[in-house]
Amino acid sequence: MDTHALLWWLADDPALPPAARKFIRTRSNTILVSAVSAWEIGTKFRIGKLPQGAELALHFDTVLTQESFEPLAITPAHAARAGLLPGPHRDPFDRMLIAQSQAENLSIISCDPVADFGVRHSAGGVSLHAELRPNECLDSFFSRQSQAEQVSFVFQVNVKIKERAALALRHDPLR
């Protein structure tokens, strides 16, 4: 799952297409989230593009567990493949997601044009491409939002994280 799709999922944003939302919600599907997404969220926070992203970056593993998502570690093979990808695509986070998808033979939930690299936007016959807002991934999504809208979006994500953590604690049989 690409970082923008993860954020859309956590904030229940309508930018995530219904088919992708249904695919993610189906418990029999394994949803992998790359460690590069934690790196990207932390970086976007640091440079001011994701004003309150630190909370999500710092509790990334907890959020993945709460959502029943599986972490996908970055291996040396992934790193080498990302560095060697051809073409002008310069975003290091997208390059890593593409490399991981290629190496692990995975589909990706994304609105980025990754098909040029042989990466699938579908699984089980379901399109996972975020076509509702073409060419509007994380950077362009935030660049067209006012600072107040960005803070509101990230606040919604953080509230959902805290709500899900509280719910998990209430239903913890070991507590």
Residue 174 covered by a domain: no
Encode pLDDT of 39-72 as tens digits. 999 999 999 888 878 889 899 999 999 999 999 9
Residue 175 covered by a domain: no
What is the model's pLDDT at position 42? Answer: 94
Give the separation between CA 117 and CA 95, rounded to whole angstroms.
10
Residue 113 covered by a domain: yes
Residue 173 covered by a domain: no
Which of 54, 30, 41 is CA-nearest to residue 2? 41
Counted residue by residue, the chain has a size of 175
Give the separation between CA 162 and CA 71, rounded to whole angstroms.
20
Residue 146 covered by a domain: yes
What is the model's pLDDT at position 135? Answer: 38
pLDDT beyond 60 at 117: no
Give the separation between CA 156 and CA 66, rounded to whole angstroms.
16
- CATH number reported for the structural domain that contains residue 13 in this entry: 3.40.50
Domain count, the chain: 1
What three-state secondary structure class fits 49? Answer: coil
Residue 121 covered by a domain: yes
Encode pLDDT of 121-172 as tens digits. 454 444 444 443 333 444 444 554 555 554 455 555 555 555 555 554 455 4
Report the percentage of the chain scoring pLDDT > 70. 62
Residue 74 covered by a domain: yes
| Domain that residue 66 falls in | 3-167
Kindly give the interhelix angle for 3-11 and 35-46, rounded to the nearest 10 degrees.
80
Residue 29 covered by a domain: yes
What three-state secondary structure class fits 70? Answer: strand
